[in-house]
């Protein structure tokens, strides 16, 4: 039996939260949700090696953006897979995104996130 893969999901919009949680849980992943940057970083810091992937929106309430969360996640766990989601920040990915990450542009098909997670997990092991 495959071990459970834990994913940190950072998204502030309830409808997108529900969509992604449903999709990722159906794909067999365990999800922990944060709706803003400060709680996301705290969640990742509590158990940095437990999370295999981070799925984060770029624009979030408060001063911490998805770019910052991913950077901190990689400091805590260099092997964590990172998937960014954004409606208007995709042009900034080359400048602010962490290496070996994926950017998904909103709106997206719900399956895109699950496919991106699976692909990155296959690369990062």
Rounded to a whole number of angstroms, the CA Rg of the chain reads 13
Number of domains into which the chain is organized:
1
Q: Which of 85, 72, 74, 98 is nearest to 11 (CA)?
A: 85
Whether 1 maps to a domain, the answer reads no
- Separation CA 95–CA 36 (nearest Å): 22
Whether 118 maps to a domain, the answer reads yes
- Domain holding 76, by residue range, is 6-124
Query: What are the tokens at 105?
Result: 């542009």
Whether 28 maps to a domain, the answer reads yes
Is the pLDDT reported for residue 16 higher than 80?
yes
- Predicted TM-score (pTM) of this structure: 0.94
CATH number for the domain that contains residue 96: 3.40.50.2300
pLDDT-derived band at 124 (thresholds 50, 70, 90) equals: low
Query: What are the tokens at 93?
Result: 């990915």
Backbone angles phi, psi at 73, to 5 degrees: -60, -45
Rounded average pLDDT over 17-28 = 95
């Amino acid at each position: 039996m495959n071990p459970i893969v834990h994913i940190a999901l950072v998204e502030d919009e309830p409808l997108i939260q529900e969509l992604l949680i449903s999709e990722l849980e159906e794909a067999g992943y365990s999800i922990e949700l944060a709706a803003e940057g400060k709680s996301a970083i705290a969640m990742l810091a509590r158990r940095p090696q437990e999370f295999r992937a981070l799925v984060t929106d770029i624009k979030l309430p408060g001063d911490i953006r998805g770019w910052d969360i991913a950077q901190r996640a990689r400091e805590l766990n260099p092997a964590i897979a990172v998937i960014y989601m954004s409606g208007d920040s995709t042009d900034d990915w080359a400048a602010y995104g962490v290496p070996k990450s994926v950017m998904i542009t909103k709106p997206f098909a719900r399956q895109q996130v699950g496919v991106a997670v699976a692909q990155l997990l296959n690369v990062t092991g």
